[in-house]
Structure 1
Amino acid sequence: MEYRKLGKTDLELSAITYGAFAIGGNMWGGNEKKDSIDSVKASIDNGVTTLDTAPFYGFGLSEEMIGAAIQGYDRTKIQLLTKFGLVWDGSNQGKGEFFFDAEEAGKTIPVYKYSSKTSVIHEVENSLKRLRTDYIDLLQIHWPDSTTPISETMEALDLLLQQGKIRAAGVSNYSVDQVSEARKNLNIASNQVGYSMLNRGIEQDLVPYAKENDLGIIVYSPMERGLLTGK
């Protein structure tokens, strides 16, 4: 396995990262809990030390299974990446930007993009409990929230850095302009975006910007959800 330094941080991430959306079950046709946990362990045993999850993945289930899977391993040799900013439990009290209606156990659950300072702090506390840890290696906003100033979201991340609850802060699905705005307030480490041989848009603007500014890029769906695997 190759390991790479993320941006200007001291984080060393495995070049291949375990993406934990599917084990959450929602939008992926369900999952077997034991198989999911075993897959995480098998990944770690083969050098994949970086695990990327989010509260929205299974409405907390993915984080819970990651937390269970890493028990017994040296926490200092595992990098936990999670996110915030997709709210589904009503804790936003009607605020935020409506994203879409998710389906769970036959119920329709409205999901909102919401990343106010108070909400970010609340989400992180829940993530720490589900992951069974006292710090997150990289915390990322899941999607931009047009109803909250970027500066307010970055203020929350800066506070979490000072408290030692996160080691680094990043964004996800941000445009170059949004990344530039965020970096006026906080030296974010990375931007997580979709990228594959069929989806190469970031080569036009984000990749040159990242190289020039030492910004890490973490890609999701490099196999286009299986389309490029031949299955």
Structure 2
Amino acid sequence: MTKEIQIGKSEVKTGKLGLGTNKVGGHNLFNDLQDSDGSQIIEEALKENISLLDTAFMYGLGRSEEIIGQVLRAHDRSKVILATKAAQDPNDGLHLNNKPDFLKASVDSALKRLKTDYIDIFYIHFPDEKTPKDEAVEALAEEKKAGKIRAIGVSNFSLTQIKEANKNHQIDIVEDNYSLVHRDAEKNLFPYLKEEGISFVPYFPLASGLLTGKYTINDQPKFKKFSTAEYEKIIHALDKVRDLAKEHDSTISQIILAWYIANPNIGVVIPGARKAEQVKSNAQALKINLSNQEFQQIDQLFREF
């Protein structure tokens, strides 16, 4: 499955499977990361024709962007879709800042770190408390007109904030927490996004590893956000997904990713990776064609979440 999708109303087009890069240079977020592993992760993604790379200033305070920029020097930039984000102000203790001047300066800084003259998707990473959201987006619209960015995104915004930000219908894409066990966005965001032609990208699609199938009924203390009863239901649901994975000669993770890829409400799914082998494995999800019955079966297994 190599279906290409358009990002909102922009001219950006990409495949349905991307790469989340918080473990590429994200030394402030994860322990024991090696820059060399980060470079290999990016190389493997490009080798597997995973063209969308999703990064952010906050991933290593610019280090993730720098690693990606270094790797891309040896590749055809026009075949890569770069998405990055900003909001944490390095000159103000990383407090959130959506002011137009800050966002414009952040675009320029990201361009330098990524060693490119344009960014395909630029997100406001988190909303601050004071800046009118339509003014923040207008600043990015000016960057778009200047050719510095190609599509405008917001991340971690409530529906009310998205509507304010999209006052002039300039938002192309929204990124937020969503997975088969965290489905609030289906009711809270999807109807408005569909109505406005805005693409959606879920982060934590594998629910911090829970949906990979590597955890057992005894690991519930690692996932305190779920009650014991909820956790048991998830594990039992994954047992049924495991049966489906055997039929497709695949892993649970690959089946779950294939479900997102087949989901018309989702633009691009961006699982992360700590090692290049995980990227290679995730890419196999593109080869899985779930039947409508299988898609609905997975959907129903996790319906209550």
Following the alignment from structure 2 to structure 1, what is the Cα–Cα distance between the partners of residues 28 and 206?
Answer: 19
Per-residue CA distance 1:25-55 (angstroms, 9 max, x = gap) = 2221131111110111111110100000001
The correspondence for 1:118, drawn from 93, 98, 101, is 101
The correspondence for 1:215, drawn from 171, 174, 198, is 198
Contact 2:137–2:170 (8 Å) recurs in 1: no
Match of 1:161 in 2: 144
What is the letter of the counterpart of residue 166 of structure 1?
I
1:186 offset after TM fit, Å?
Answer: 4.6
Tell whether 2:83 aligns with 1:81: yes
What is the letter of the counterpart of residue 134 of structure 1?
D
Following superposition of structure 1 onto structure 2, how do residues 56-67 of structure 1 map, counting pairs within 5 Å? 56-67=58-69
Tell whether 2:157 aligns with 1:174: yes
Contact 2:134–2:166 (8 Å) recurs in 1: no
Match of 2:113 in 1: 130
- Please, which runs of 5 or more residues in structure 1 have no aligned partner? 93-109
The correspondence for 1:43, drawn from 24, 39, 45, is 45
Which one has the bigger helix percentage? 2
Q: Secondary structure at the match of 2:111?
A: helix
Match of 1:72 in 2: 74
Following the alignment from structure 1 to structure 2, what is the Cα–Cα distance between the partners of residues 7 and 197?
Answer: 23
Q: How many residues align?
A: 212
| More displaced 10-residue stretch of structure 1: 187-196 or 204-213 | 204-213
Contact 1:154–1:186 (8 Å) recurs in 2: no
Match of 1:2 in 2: 3
1:166 offset after TM fit, Å?
Answer: 0.4
What is the letter of the counterpart of residue 142 of structure 2?
L
Tell whether 2:116 aligns with 1:151: no
Following superposition of structure 1 onto structure 2, how do residues 26-41 of structure 1 map, counting pairs within 5 Å? 26-41=28-43
| More displaced 10-residue stretch of structure 1: 44-53 or 3-12 | 3-12
Per-residue CA distance 1:130-165 (angstroms, 9 max, x = gap) = 000010000000001112111221121011011110
TM-score by length of 2: 0.67
Contact 2:155–2:176 (8 Å) recurs in 1: yes
Identity of aligned residues (%): 36
Q: Secondary structure at the match of 2:131?
A: coil
Match of 2:212 in 1: 229
Q: Secondary structure at the match of 2:103?
A: helix
TM-score by length of 1: 0.88
Q: Secondary structure at the match of 1:160?
A: helix
Match of 1:14 in 2: 15
Which one has the bigger strand percentage? 1
1:3 offset after TM fit, Å?
Answer: 2.3
> What is the root-mean-square deviation in Å for CA atoms of aligned residues?
1.3
What is the letter of the counterpart of residue 59 of structure 2?
Y
Following superposition of structure 1 onto structure 2, how do residues 186-225 of structure 1 map, counting pairs within 5 Å? 186-225=169-208
| More displaced 10-residue stretch of structure 1: 37-46 or 180-189 | 180-189
Match of 1:103 in 2: none
Per-residue CA distance 1:164-192 (angstroms, 9 max, x = gap) = 10011111111222111111135110110
Question: More relative contact order in 1 or in 2 (CA 8 Å, sep 6+)?
Answer: 2
Contact 2:7–2:199 (8 Å) recurs in 1: yes
Q: Secondary structure at the match of 2:75?
A: coil
Q: Secondary structure at the match of 1:204?
A: helix
Match of 1:97 in 2: none
Contact 1:194–1:219 (8 Å) recurs in 2: yes
Contact 1:158–1:186 (8 Å) recurs in 2: no
Return the index of the structure with the highest Cα Rg.
2
